[in-house]
Amino acid sequence: MYILTTTSSFSINEFPDGLNVIHNPYKRKLTGDEIKDLIIKYQPVGIIAGVEPLTREVMMAAENLKVISRCGIGIDSVDMKAAGELGIKVTITPEAPMISVAELTIGLILSIIRKITVLDAGIRKGGWKGPKGNLLWGKTVGIIGCGRIGTYVSRLLKAFGCDVIGYDPYIKEHEICRMVGFEELLEKSDIISLHIPYTDENKNIIGAAQLKQMKPTCLLINAARGGLIDEDALYEALKNGEIAGAALDCFAEEPYSGPLTKLENTVLIPHMGSSATEARIMMEKQALDNLIKGLEEFGII
């Protein structure tokens, strides 16, 4: 019996006896055709998945597949309807990336508000003086999505002396955030941070109209998922001074090489939210545990 680890990297090799493990040979995000070819070749009973597209077509090629164990928190890369119809169990590792993504979010906020990357670039070009930044203390921060990660980010922001407001269509009361409507959050926030999954409903939830509702001093942060922000509209808003800056860890198309790279009022990093050593180890262990439990439920091991 075969197991595929299709996430870009997987370091744990503590699989039960009787399972032959095939690791991602490309060491990067797989295309739909690449993962389909691997599935046809090995016909795995389980997959430890990254963010590659597990579409209906891909899963239909997997005659023996019983468990997809996502090494991460999102399921937007998996056709959940198809998985249900095909009897494939899908699991995630929601606790493992929480601290890592939350800490990175704070890092992005501090980088953009204190202009750390601009000052660093100035020194590397032979300069010394640079633009003044602003304090995080006293700012109103709007959290869009108040689940695990949004809540942890809120807790960290409170320690910085921020007024934290939140919007989440599924949460009316929150232990930390003062919950408000979407429009109010856009209008009142000095900083807005996204912590929602990518869905058809959430696609470009921040577009040209929403950017115009923000303060001209507002900073926009996305360490959640690409596709939540209309990047063309964001470029125009940043270029024209409609908002002050943006810090992004994820993009609609990755690797990203678009026009936002030409602006000084952006901080751009290559989808590193959960890429802390400790968090990655925790995610891999949880993904393996989920895979084993799932295979045990089906009586495969």
Of the candidates 200, 254, 201, which has an alpha carbon nearest to the alpha carbon of residue 231? 254
Is residue 255 reached through a cis peptide bond, with omega within 30 degrees of 0 on the bond before it? yes
Q: Tell me if residue 295 falls in helix, strand or coil.
A: helix
The question of whether 225 is a catalytic residue gets the answer yes
| Axis-axis angle for helices 116-124, 96-113 (nearest 10) | 60
| Helical spans, DSSP H, in 73-223 | 80-85, 96-113, 116-124, 148-159, 182-188, 208-213
Of the candidates 34, 43, 85, which has an alpha carbon nearest to the alpha carbon of residue 63? 43
Q: 């910085």: which residue's tokens?
A: 160
**Cβ–Cβ < 8 Å for 112, 264:** no
Give the Cα separation of 225 and 233 in Å (integer). Answer: 17
Structure tokens belonging to residue 145: 């999505």
Give the Cα separation of 135 and 40 in Å (integer). Answer: 55
State how beta strands 163-167 and 46-49 pair.
unpaired
Give the Cα separation of 292 and 301 in Å (integer). Answer: 8
- Count CB atoms within 10 A of the CB of residue 297: 11
Q: Please state the φ and ψ torsions of residue 200, each to the nearest 5 degrees.
A: -60, -35
Give the Cα separation of 271 and 39 in Å (integer). Answer: 26
Q: Tell me if residue 34 falls in helix, strand or coil.
A: helix
Catalytic residue of the set 95, 253, 254, 264: 254
Catalytic residue of the set 70, 271, 280, 284: 271
Catalytic residue of the set 225, 231, 280, 284: 225
Cite the active site residues: 225, 254, 271
